[in-house]
Amino acid sequence: MAAGPDVVTEALADIHRRLGALDEGEPAAYIPELARARREGFGLALVSMDGHRYQAGDAAEPFTLQSVSKPFVYALALAELGLDEVGRWVGAEPSGEAFNAISLEQGTGRPSNAMINAGAIATTALVPGATPAERFERILAGLSAFAGRRLDVDAAVHASEAATGDRNRALAYLMRGAGSLACDPLAATDLYFRQCAVRATAADLAVMAATLGNGGVNPVTGERVVGERVAVQVLSVMATCGMYDASGEWLLRVGLPAKSGVSGGLIAVSPARFGAACWSPPLDRSGNPVRGTAALRELSERFGLHLMLSPAPAAPTVVAWPSAGTARRRGAFAVVAVQGALDFTAAERVLFELERGTAGPVLLDLGRVTRLDTVARVMITATLVRLAAGGRRVAVAGEVLPAPPDAPWERLGPDGDGPDRAGAEGAGPDRAWAEGAGPDRAGADGADADSAGPDTAR
């Protein structure tokens, strides 16, 4: 059951109660087994970045993932091969067409993106494995890691899909003929049918969505499933392509990366906040669940989750600085005292005060900093080096900033002890900033962060 404040569970229950009466749309009929789904079935679930779980309605009822599997298998391919290699086979542009459309790029034969059927078949074919069985086991293990428990396959749905999947086979043969499918079309489509027939619940999907929102770390199990950069890449494609030909309208009105499936599943991700999921079989004309779409739209509006909303004002990053007349001094040093979590935005404020708000010896007090991300660390390190190279006397208090052996700043203790030369206690500064690289060298291959522990997620 739910953990944490009851207000979240109450909000889900209220949405479930009111939208449960919504009786529009029809369950998918082109796959006979899906047409047998309970029309009235409706479940909602939400998982926070702390692993707190909330649900309402039929959140524990199993159903097959169908297209909701696509972003997670795309993540597995990106983690194994990297964005550049995957991008040779699958694009990242919205198709503006239905999920089963023939949407191949002229000249290359690449599908438009990994969220439509053609792109998903091509992506599934990229998952490494010596045999089809080995490939599928990697897919199933990956989906299970996202969910935090071992998932299984609905054999009846798989058989039903295989019996009615000629259009998907035709897409595979077209891609093979164009040179944009990496393996045999029949093997690729059977693997894709099995992937779509993996069974989960709305509660599972909320955990899977939260794992993407948590930078690739499952917030319930603590396991890193994919690297943070891979999670960002997947969420980017979900935001622009995840709701098929209704993706633009969804992003405009709901403002969250999302993915739907014809079994009635729907996930949405509020990065660094939570993952949400719905299940309700009746679909609209775009193939998206009617109740699920309405529920997540209301959830976004109620809690102010649209990606484009400005964040709420946070506590000030710099709490004492000379240019505001709040300077403290420690001996010869003017003090710039900093607090909270430092990212690019917060680090820029710190750099401004260090470079323009002070003159003479300066002490950067990081004792109240709770987190220093890679970009902020590199920016601050480079600024301290610049100040010292310009003849300024520079010191740092607090242990959050690693120092290279040749660091040109002094280390002061919390009570002004020292100075002692910073150095032996830290690894060298990350040179990625100077080289123009991003904060996570999962970069070109997207895979190196997979070995990192769960504590690196947020």
pLDDT, tens digit, 9 for 90 and up, residues 152-197: 999 999 999 999 999 999 999 989 988 888 889 999 999 999 999 9
The whole-number average pLDDT for the span 63-76 is: 97
Q: Assign 302 a pLDDT band (cuts: 50, 70, 90).
A: confident
Is the predicted pLDDT of residue 202 greater than 50, yes or no? yes
Mean predicted confidence (pLDDT) in 129-150: 96
Binding positions are: 67, 117, 161, 168, 192, 244, 262
Which range, of 252-256, 303-307, 368-372, averages the lowest pLDDT?
303-307
pLDDT at 350 over 50: yes
What are the two backbone dihedrals, phi and then psi, of residue 29, each rounded to the nearest 5 degrees? Answer: -110, -15
The type of residue at 205 is L
Place of tokens 């995840």: 242
Distance CA 439, CA 262 (A): 37
Strand pairing report for 274-279 and 43-48: antiparallel
Instruction: Give percent of the chain above pLDDT 70.
Output: 84
Give every CB contact of residue 428 below 8 A, 6+ residues apart in sequence.
Answer: 404, 405
CA 227 – CA 375 distance, rounded (Å)? 16
So what's the pLDDT on residue 304?
Answer: 84
Nearest Cα neighbor of 56 from 224, 210, 203, 226 is 203
According to CATH, where is 3.40.710.10 located in the chain? 6-303
pLDDT at position 254 over 50: yes
Instruction: Give the pLDDT confidence of 2-30 residue by residue, as tens digits.
Output: 444 468 888 899 999 999 999 999 999 88
Q: Sheet containing 63-64: which strands, arranged edge to edge? A: 63-64, 198-200, 152-153
pLDDT (0 to 100) of residue 5: 44
Paired tokens of 192 = 């894709």
Q: Are 440 and 228 in contact (CB under 8 A)?
A: yes
Query: What is the rounded distance in angstroms from the CA atom of residue 386 to the CA atom of residue 384?
Result: 5
Contact 228, 215 (CB under 8 A): yes
CA distance 344 to 447: 23
Distance CA 316, CA 137 (A): 49
Tokens of 44: 């909602």
In this predicted structure, the answer to whether residue 435 has a pLDDT above a threshold of 50 is no
**Residues in binding site for substrate:** 67, 117, 161, 168, 192, 244, 262
CA distances from 109 to 79, 103, 166, 205, 351 (A): 23, 9, 19, 32, 48
Looking at residue 98, its pLDDT comes to 63
What average pLDDT does the segment 109-129 reach?
A: 92
Q: Which residues form the catalytic set?
A: 67, 70, 192, 244, 262
pLDDT confidence of residue 401: 92
Going by the DSSP 8-state scheme, the letter that residue 412 receives in this structure is E
Tell me which of 3.40.50.300, 3.40.50.150, 1.10.287.3510, 3.40.710.10 is the CATH number of domain 6-303. Answer: 3.40.710.10
The residues pairing with 53 across neighbouring beta strands, listed in sequence order, are 47
Percent helix / strand / coil, the chain, rounded to 5? 40, 15, 40
* Per-residue confidence (pLDDT) for residue 334, from 0 to 100: 85
pLDDT at 454 over 50: no
Residue 99: what pLDDT? 66
**94 or 227, greater pLDDT:** 227
Q: Which of 39-48, 207-216, 305-314, 365-374 has the lowest mean pLDDT?
A: 305-314
Ranges for all domains in the chain classified under CATH 3.30.750.24: 318-440
Q: 318-440: which CATH topology?
A: Transcription Regulator spoIIAA (3.30.750)
Query: 390-415 pLDDT, tens per residue?
Result: 999 999 999 899 888 889 999 887 55
pLDDT tens-digit series, residues 35-69 = 999 999 999 999 999 999 999 999 999 999 999 99
Residue 193 Cα distances to 198, 294, 398, angstroms: 9, 28, 54
| Element containing residue 44 per DSSP (H, E) | strand 43-48
